[in-house]
Amino acid sequence: MTKRMDPTEAAALMAREGTPIRAAPAGGALPQVITGAEALPFRGRTAIRLEPDLGIASVFGPSRTWCDEGPAERLLLVRPAVGRLQVTQGGRTLACCSRDALLVAASRGAVFAATAVERIDILAIERRQLAGPLATLESGFLRRIGRDHPGLQTLTAYAAGLLRGLIPAATAGLAELARAHLAELLAVIVREPDLQANGPVPSRRDQRIQALKAEVEQRLGSPDLSLDTVARAQRISSRQIQALFQAEGETFSGFVLTRRLDRAMQRLTDGDDARPVGAIAFDVGFGDLSYFNRTFRRRFGLTPSQARRLLRRADRVPAVAAERVRAPDG
């Protein structure tokens, strides 16, 4: 079964069971949710990846043991969100724990063992496609990468943005650029294993609140944006979201309202946007025009129509002044 879907809905489908749902590509890479496929890495219950495949995936409900017997030799970077992941290859065993990563230069025949792992994030690149420092890695190369490595943090954040549709790759050219960027970030990790951040690293809480706010921005124009939809998309409880926003000194609903009003003001004062006030209100997610007018006035001290008239009046002033300068004396 194939079905078009909004890329931002892909994350909400990750944990669902049942019929496979795929997003049909439209020239670029779109999130695709797959369930019950034996070919999934780690024989996971559910996975989300991009179509066409850029080599990144999040696999949910992985099996406790898995041996990579794929047709092509590939380099794997694997990262358990929580729990312990171990790889054994060529008589050598290496393990990592929550949010650390394992780099396996040639994964065919490698045996993985997962303990208390619910999700594994993966970057896979076929060996024949490797270049630079990645191409020089020997087949038996294994390395553990700490969660605090700046390159790993950037790579995982970038991959997550792509998988959630928050970083769109809407054309074939952009998809190829994204694929190349993923490989370049991995090359940085290989080339500089001891790389340190120049400044303070954002805390886990700060990273989470920024991800939540990015999710809201992506869905802002949708009238069904709610605490529950964001919680499902981010795989976090509604109570945790409320606590994170309260720690910022605001509420989830207050943040959504503020962002919608700010976006409405931006469009009302955009000289190129001549749509009626009601159309703009609906476009930024309001379903009740009277509520929009009331909250807009409360925030900005004037009505939406007054905001638009002020813009037009400001635009006329320079034109009138210019006409006066050009007018002959007399």
| Distance separating alpha carbons of residues 134 and 193, to the nearest angstrom | 13
Same domain membership, residue 219 and residue 165 = no
Cβ pair 93, 73 in contact under 8 A: no
| Distance separating alpha carbons of residues 177 and 171, to the nearest angstrom | 10
Asked if the structure places residue 186 within a domain, the reply is yes
Asked if the structure places residue 44 within a domain, the reply is no
| Distance separating alpha carbons of residues 241 and 16, to the nearest angstrom | 21
- Cα 319 to its chain centre, rounded Å, is 44
- Given pLDDT bands bounded at 50, 70 and 90, which one contains residue 170? confident
Could you tell me which residues are beta bridge partners of residue 59?
47, 120
Asked if the structure places residue 24 within a domain, the reply is no
- Given pLDDT bands bounded at 50, 70 and 90, which one contains residue 76? very high
**Domain residues for 278?**
205-314
- Given pLDDT bands bounded at 50, 70 and 90, which one contains residue 57? very high
Same domain membership, residue 284 and residue 160 = no
Same domain membership, residue 86 and residue 67 = yes
Average pLDDT over residues 87-112: 93
The answer, yes or no, to whether residue 122 has pLDDT greater than 90, is yes
- Given pLDDT bands bounded at 50, 70 and 90, which one contains residue 38? low
- Given pLDDT bands bounded at 50, 70 and 90, which one contains residue 311? low
Given this model, what pLDDT does residue 243 score?
92
Q: How many other C-beta atoms lie within 10 A of the C-beta of residue 79? A: 24
The pTM of the full predicted model, rounded to 2 decimals, is 0.67
Given this model, what pLDDT does residue 205 score?
84
Given this model, what pLDDT does residue 200 score?
67
Farthest CA pair distance, the chain: 99
First to last CA, the chain: 79
How many domains does the chain fold into? Answer: 2
Average pLDDT over residues 29-58: 82
Comparing C-alpha atoms, which of 63, 65, 66, 61 is closest to residue 48?
61
Same domain membership, residue 180 and residue 255 = no
The answer, yes or no, to whether residue 314 has pLDDT greater than 60, is no
